[in-house]
């Protein structure tokens, strides 16, 4: 972010760095902590994780030797004043800190993420979510709660939804009309599972379930639902279009029906196999012939769609910049604009049987598909962010979408309660 670098330089010169806390100690968290070796004017000063030992290992992997396990916000703030990185397993400790200026959630776990995010909002903390699964399930309600509490909530730079949103904002600032926000993927196979993905997961020190959600289409569905909720765009069909294309993404502009795009108010989508991977793209139209002439002169083609793209997304590298945007400028990378526009529903990964319990995201039983929110509500479809632990009431053939009436929910989950509140607050068509 061009303007953020100067703000952080000023913070560094004044020996007044932004200190933020982080929930999670996995692969992404390690990358964010490692950035602290090089960033000026901002650092992750506290880590909360359900397993203390894992948090300690993550902090030490970034070369941090001055660390302390703390049990209260007073103890945490005392450590931070001494330049010591604090570690805890109690989310309230981070939320009650008087020194931490922002919090970031990087677990990818819906139920835990819902718990700590609502705590943060209740304690008046700005919150960054690198948790597409949570955002795509109850993000509109969390945004409403944050607005009511006078705090900010945002998706995270470096994650593909925010990269798309930054590009979307850029294109709109040129006074062009974005009609497609897209994600470039190298692979999608709905039937991948933690066994097939175990080797890749070990290579990159990730969990098999997380890697599976990347491969089976669940993750990209959440990512594009977030973009839809932030822009008002819809999906052209259940699961998105998802063209297969081995050339450059620029060559896709003539594949879309522009009239359909206009009618839907724009769409979110993805492409398989295109270059530059793993980037993102926005296709936009000009408003008049003069704009079109200048776009052609700039080598963007004859239209009616013009291609803009970013050839990368640099997750941990960019994540701290979201914190700086919020703290210094009150600017969010990506957040819902109101009620849900696109949801992620549950499809059977294999033939499922009555009495069977659905496992979690990136598991053996289900995968996620984008669907327009009005259809989800009208057909009473099961959001996949709520599916884990549900018990089937009937046989479900492979690839069939599961409805709420097909399952018995587990009792007591905060995500289910919040989702019910969101559904009541945002009926279809609002």
Cα R_g (the chain), whole angstroms? 22
Domain assignment of residue 335, yes or no: no
pLDDT digits (tens, 9 = 90+) for 17-39: 999 999 999 999 999 999 999 99
Domain assignment of residue 336, yes or no: no
**In terms of residue numbers, what domain contains 374?**
342-425
What's the mean pLDDT when you consider all of the chain?
A: 96
The pLDDT assigned to 3 comes to 93
Query: Cα(132)–Cα(59) distance, rounded to whole angstroms?
Result: 24
pLDDT digits (tens, 9 = 90+) for 257-279: 999 999 999 999 999 999 999 99
Domain assignment of residue 234, yes or no: yes
Residues 109 and 176 occupy one common structural domain: no
For residues 107 and 66, is the Cβ–Cβ distance under 8 A?
no
CATH number, position 415: 3.90.1210.10
Q: Indicate the number of domains in the chain.
A: 3
Closest CA to 167 of 300, 270, 281: 281
Q: Which of residues 306, 329, 352 is at a domain's end?
A: 329
What is the mean predicted confidence (pLDDT) over 377-386? 97
Residues 391 and 414 occupy one common structural domain: yes
Residues 191 and 307 occupy one common structural domain: yes
For residues 374 and 228, is the Cβ–Cβ distance under 8 A?
no
Domain assignment of residue 334, yes or no: no
Closest CA to 103 of 91, 90, 86, 89: 91
For residues 136 and 220, is the Cβ–Cβ distance under 8 A?
no
CATH number, position 94: 3.40.50.720
Domain assignment of residue 337, yes or no: no
Residue 146 has pLDDT above 70, yes or no: yes
Residues 292 and 350 occupy one common structural domain: no
The pLDDT assigned to 1 comes to 58
Residues 16 and 132 occupy one common structural domain: yes
The pLDDT assigned to 196 comes to 94
Residues 226 and 322 occupy one common structural domain: no
What is the mean predicted confidence (pLDDT) over 328-340? 97
Assign 428 a pLDDT band (cuts: 50, 70, 90).
confident
Could you tell me the pTM of the whole model?
0.96
Full DSSP string of 239-291: T---EE--SBGGGGTTSS-HHHHHHHT-EEEEEES-BSTT-EEEEEE-SSHHH
Assign 391 a pLDDT band (cuts: 50, 70, 90).
very high
Residues 232 and 360 occupy one common structural domain: no
Question: How many degrees, rounded to 5, is the angle at CA 299 between CA 296 and CA 304?
Answer: 45
């Amino acid at each position: 972010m061009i303007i953020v670098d100067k703000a952080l330089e000023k913070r560094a010169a004044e020996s007044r760095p932004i200190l933020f806390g982080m929930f999670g100690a996995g692969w992404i968290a390690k990358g964010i902590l490692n950035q602290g070796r090089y960033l000026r004017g901002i650092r992750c000063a506290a880590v909360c994780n359900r397993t203390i030992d894992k948090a300690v290992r993550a902090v030490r992997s970034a070369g941090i030797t001055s660390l302390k396990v703390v049990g209260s916000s007073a103890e945490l703030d005392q450590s931070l004043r001494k330049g010591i990185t604090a570690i805890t397993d109690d989310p309230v400790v981070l939320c009650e800190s008087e020194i931490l200026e922002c919090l970031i959630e990087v677990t990818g776990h819906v139920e835990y993420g819902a718990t700590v995010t609502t705590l943060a909002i209740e304690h008046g903390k700005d919150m960054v979510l690198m948790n597409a699964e949570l955002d795509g399930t109850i993000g509109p309600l969390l945004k409403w709660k944050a607005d009511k509490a006078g705090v900010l909530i945002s998706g995270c730079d470096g994650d593909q939804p925010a990269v798309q949103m930054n590009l979307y904002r850029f294109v709109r600032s040129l006074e062009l009309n974005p009609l497609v926000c897209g994600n470039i993927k190298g692979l999608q196979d709905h039937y991948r599972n933690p066994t097939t993905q175990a080797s890749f997961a070990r290579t990159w020190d990730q969990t098999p379930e997380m890697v599976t959600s990347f491969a089976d289409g669940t993750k990209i569905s959440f990512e594009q639902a977030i973009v839809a909720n932030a822009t008002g765009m819809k999906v052209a069909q259940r699961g998105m279009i998802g063209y297969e294309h081995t050339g450059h993404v620029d060559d896709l502009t003539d594949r879309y029906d522009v009239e359909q795009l206009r009618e839907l108010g724009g769409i979110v989508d993805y492409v398989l196999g295109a270059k530059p991977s793993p980037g993102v793209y926005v296709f936009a139209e000009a408003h008049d012939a003069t704009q079109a002439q200048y776009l052609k002169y700039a080598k963007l083609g004859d239209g009616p769609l013009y291609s803009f793209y970013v050839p990368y997304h640099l997750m941990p590298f960019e994540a701290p910049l979201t914190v700086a945007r919020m703290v210094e400028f009150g600017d969010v990378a990506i957040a819902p604009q109101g009620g849900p526009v696109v949801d992620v529903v549950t499809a059977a990964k294999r033939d499922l049987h009555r009495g069977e319990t659905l496992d979690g995201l990136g598991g053996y039983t289900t995968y996620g598909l984008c669907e327009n929110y009005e259809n989800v509500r009208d057909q009473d479809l099961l959001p996949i962010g709520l599916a884990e632990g549900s018990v089937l009431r009937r046989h479900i053939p492979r690839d069939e979408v599961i409805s709420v009436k097909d399952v018995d929910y587990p009792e007591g989950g905060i995500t289910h309660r919040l989702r019910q509140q969101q559904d009541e607050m945002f009926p279809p068509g609002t």
